[in-house]
Amino acid sequence: MQRSKAPMKTTFCATLILAAATVQVLAATVYPDATGDFTPEGFGYLDITSVEVDNDDTTLSFRINLADNPLAVDWAKYLIGLDTAAGGNTTGPDAWGKPISMSIGGMDYFIGSWMNFGTGAEVRVWDGSAWNTVSGSGITVTTDSSSVTLALPFSVLNLNLGDTFRFDVYTTSDGNSVLDAAGSTAPLTWNNNPYDSGENVLSYTLVPEPTLAALLLVGGALWCGWRSRRARGCAA
């Protein structure tokens, strides 16, 4: 009499699915922000709707989603303050002299981007008394009809896989302070007032990319699930 192989297959699939459940598949983390918290109408390119943060084994990216086209004008600017280690600038101003601070934790790195002169960006680091430009940062700027993406090697920020950092994202323009912040839904208008991210910061952990073996585990688990559903369908 031939023994049924079904129990062995069931055990194999159950083990595969359990192993796949432990695999962390890399996906961007989305941080939503209220739409319309920059209150003047007609300036959607200053109104953050969400921020998507992602990484691979070397690169960290911030996709700043907006309520309108960032290239609708050439004077909008998009900034990121990062708290990556103990210390940092807790009182401001930021690297561009704007009254922006991170009083809890301190701002260690500053990313500033602009939409004029073909778009561009720079990275600066706080040395304890002044902001210094990080040369050769490798930062890139890409845009579409409703977003700005800033990407750079995370080694530039002295970060490694597994590290967690805190950050905030701001929109601004010449002569203004923060016009919208990803970490806060408080309504803002044109102003040059001091802005402190304080406790209203976001947090992200750099996650390693899944290995080929891990991806095969996930694929095998999906196959087992399909096979199980197919078998139940045939039995019905």
Question: Per residue in 2-23, pLDDT tens?
Answer: 555 555 555 656 564 555 555 4
- Better-scored residue on pLDDT, 36 or 234: 36
Burial (CB count within 10 angstroms: exposed 0-12, middle 13-18, buried 19+), residue 66: buried
State how far the alpha carbon of 96 is from the alpha carbons of 130, 162, 163, 170, 189, in Å. Answer: 11, 30, 27, 13, 20
CA nearest 46: which of 145, 178, 155? 178
Is residue 195 within 8 Å of 12, Cβ to Cβ? no
The pLDDT value given to residue 8: 52
Q: Where are the domains of the chain?
A: 29-205
The pLDDT value given to residue 212: 53
Is residue 52 within 8 Å of 30, Cβ to Cβ? yes
> Can you read off the two tokens belonging to residue 175?
């002569």
Model confidence at 166: pLDDT above 70: yes
Under CATH, which number does the domain 29-205 receive? 2.60.40.1190
> Can you read off the two tokens belonging to residue 170?
């701001």
Q: What is the pLDDT of residues 20-69, one digit of tens each?
A: 555 455 679 999 999 999 999 999 999 999 999 999 999 999 999 999 99
CA nearest 176: which of 164, 189, 192, 160? 192
Instruction: Report d(CA 200, CA 48) in Å as an integer.
Output: 15
Q: What is the pLDDT of residues 89-112, one digit of tens each?
A: 999 999 999 999 999 999 999 999
Q: Average pLDDT of the chain?
A: 88
Query: Is residue 215 very low, low, confident or very high in pLDDT (cuts 50, 70, 90)?
Result: very low
Average pLDDT over residues 130-148: 98
